[in-house]
Amino acid sequence: MHTEILKADREGILAAAAVLRRGGLVAMPTETVYGLAADGLNPEAVREIYRVKGRPQDNPLILHIASLDSLFPLVKTGPESERALRRLSGRFWPGPLTVVLPRSGLVPDVITAGGPTVAIRMPSHPVARALIEAAGRPIAAPSANLSGKPSPTTLRDVTDDLSGLVPAILDGGDCAVGVESTVIDLTRRPYDVLRPGGISREALSDALGEEVGDASRPRDGAPPRSPGMKYRHYAPATPLTGLVGSGEDSLRYLSSLPRAEAMAAVVFDEYREAAEALGYRVLAYGREADHDSHARLLFRTLRQADRLGADRIYIQISPERRGRGDAVFNRLSRSTGGDLVYLAGK
Ligand code: AMP
Ligand code: MG
């Protein structure tokens, strides 16, 4: 299949909307990561998303909307959940927050993986908004990576995965947030974060005036309430080891390892030169305390690191969970397949 790279001008957006309306797929930029978009009310089109990504059938999709009015036909709300929804949408929409609510009959089974709830988000990226408006319907859009790989946050990364597999990719440059949306469950109280992301749990609790729980780390044996969390995900092809602790502690760890020349290291900016001096092939993803930068650069840096041809990649990980630190930690525990070295006190 020929893949057209569309400029994100009026003409490109209208061309992309026409592809969506006839049941085709379009990779579109959002402020979180690139999404693989389809008409969310067309089950055939949505099934194509699963096929192209190689996505497990039981992993539901998020519907993207451009106005609050278009949410209500898709969900069932009560007085409590509507109050919570209005508080959250007033504060965080458009933006990187997804709400889970009981679904209405309008939502196809293939969106919810047959479940009774639906996940909905209003993105802030101007190109995503314009595309949803031009398509005139809710748009299903998981991250635009092939299943298991790091989510694409640049045109190059989305093209690497999807060129030849979809009719069109809209060029929106680099994604600003870099990790996916936070998913919050509004179907029961206390409300819980199912997946950490662009909006922190502290900010959600503050907006709701009550403590929001953390259900993103289910206890052993319990099935995850966010189905996507059970799969190996966000992983580079090269084995990846996470070093959790201060930059200084992880540098000491890196300096104790043999054969640095065949190894790559993703470090905080402050440690770039020291890691290079040890012989590592080095990439940096922001200053040690800058969790927004870690989030923004994480996935593109993992993909870059893969291209260095190293036998293993080490990555410095801040133990701080404030702000986007929580989402970065969550993604990296998945990317490493749990291969984390905790350095505190070592
Ligand atoms: P992705 O767009 O690739 O980030 O995937 C969307 C993720 O949203 C899924 O993997 C789920 O974890 C989550 N999600 C979507 N729909 C629901 C739902 N109805 N209930 C809980 N989580 C959901
Ligand atoms: Mg994804």
CA of 288 to the centre of ligand 1 (A): 30
**Ligand number with the minimum distance to the CA of 62:** 1
205 and 71 housed in the same domain: yes
Q: How wide is the angle at C-alpha 177 spanned by C-alphas 176 and 180, nearest 5°?
A: 135
257 and 190 housed in the same domain: no
What is the CATH classification number for the domain harbouring 326?
A: 3.40.50.11030
Q: Are 224 and 230 in contact (CB under 8 A)?
A: yes
**What is residue 40's predicted lDDT score, i.e. its pLDDT?**
98
Q: Are 207 and 191 in contact (CB under 8 A)?
A: no
Tokens of 1: 């299949």
CA 130 to centroid of chain Cα atoms? 21
DSSP for 15-78, please give it: HHHHHHHTT--EEE--SSS-EEEEETT-HHHHHHHHHHHT--TTS--EEE-SSGGGTGGGB---
**What is residue 336's predicted lDDT score, i.e. its pLDDT?**
95
Mean pLDDT by 10 residues, the chain (346 residues): 97 98 98 98 98 95 98 97 98 98 98 97 98 98 96 98 98 98 97 98 98 84 64 86 97 92 96 97 98 98 97 97 96 94 80
Domain-embedded: residue 184: yes
Atom of ligand 1 nearest to the CA of 119: 16
**What is residue 288's predicted lDDT score, i.e. its pLDDT?**
98
Going by alpha carbons, the residue nearest to atom 13 of ligand 1 is 226
CA of 183 to the centre of ligand 1 (A): 7
- Stated pTM of the model: 0.96
CA of 87 to the centre of ligand 2 (A): 26
Closest C-alpha among 296, 306, 295 to residue 264 = 306
Domain that holds residue 305: 240-342
**What is residue 166's predicted lDDT score, i.e. its pLDDT?**
98
- Work out how many domains the chain is built from and give that number: 2
What is the CATH classification number for the domain harbouring 112?
A: 3.90.870.10
Atom of ligand 1 nearest to the CA of 55: 3
Domain-embedded: residue 219: no
**What is residue 145's predicted lDDT score, i.e. its pLDDT?**
97
